[in-house]
Amino acid sequence: MTAREWTDPTCPVARTIDLVGDRWCLLIVRDAMDGATAFTEFQQRLGIARNILADRLRRLIEHGILTSAPTPGGKRHIYELTDAGRDLFTTIVALRQWGERHAFTRNEPHSTLRGLDGSAVAELRPTTKIGETLTAATTRVHKVGTAR
């Protein structure tokens, strides 16, 4: 994307949403983190139309979030997360935890994320480098061209 195509050229949140903010893109990344590698796996898990899936996979590859390689037979492709794609793990966990708190009614069943040993994942909370908890009320965005 060029600067003219960004929703807000100097905002990291806006750029991230421009790259992966589409509903299908994040769900593809989620499923890739959960082991999906084949077009048919993504399609079956998501119930997504083939043309939309093909478009989103192409975009994720173009933006360096997925890679694609032909299978040994050469007729199909395997999709894998790049380092940038794997780096979205914390984002996916944050969205999951927000959903657990706000998108379900009390006692409504939902999937859970666990460590390989079965342990619960700790709640994500932003902190300063010295460990103090941060909130929207205790932070400020320093925009480009403003004094720090």
In a domain, 111, yes or no: yes
Question: Among residues 123, 99, 125, which one has the least CA distance to residue 111?
Answer: 99
Instruction: Give the pLDDT score at 146.
Output: 62
- Tens-binned pLDDT, residue by residue, of the chain (148 aa): 555 688 998 999 999 999 998 999 999 999 999 999 999 999 999 999 999 999 999 999 999 999 999 998 888 999 999 999 999 999 999 999 999 999 999 999 999 999 999 999 999 999 999 999 999 999 999 998 765 5
What pLDDT shows up at residue 75? 87
**Residue 147 belongs to some domain of the structure:** no
Say what the pLDDT of residue 1 is: 54
Angle, helix 39-46 to helix 23-33, in steps of 10 degrees:
120
Number of domains in the chain: 1
19 falls within a domain: yes
The answer to whether residue 92 is domain-embedded is yes
Any idea what the CATH number is for the domain that residue 56 is in?
A: 1.10.10.10
Range of the domain at 14: 3-138
One DSSP character per residue, the chain reads --GGGSSSTT-HHHHHHHHH-SHHHHHHHHHHHTT--BHHHHHHHHT--HHHHHHHHHHHHHTTSEEEEE-TTSSSEEEEE-HHHHTTHHHHHHHHHHHHHHSS-TT------B-TTSPBPPPP--B-TTS-B--GGG-----TTS--
Q: What is the predicted pLDDT for the residue at 74?
A: 84
The whole-number pLDDT of residue 59 equals 96
Q: Output 1-5 pairs: Cβ under 8 A, ≥24 positions apart.
A: none
Burial 61-91 (b: 16+ CB within 10 A, else e): bebebbeeeeeeeeeeeebebeeebeebeee
* Residue 144 located in a structural domain: no
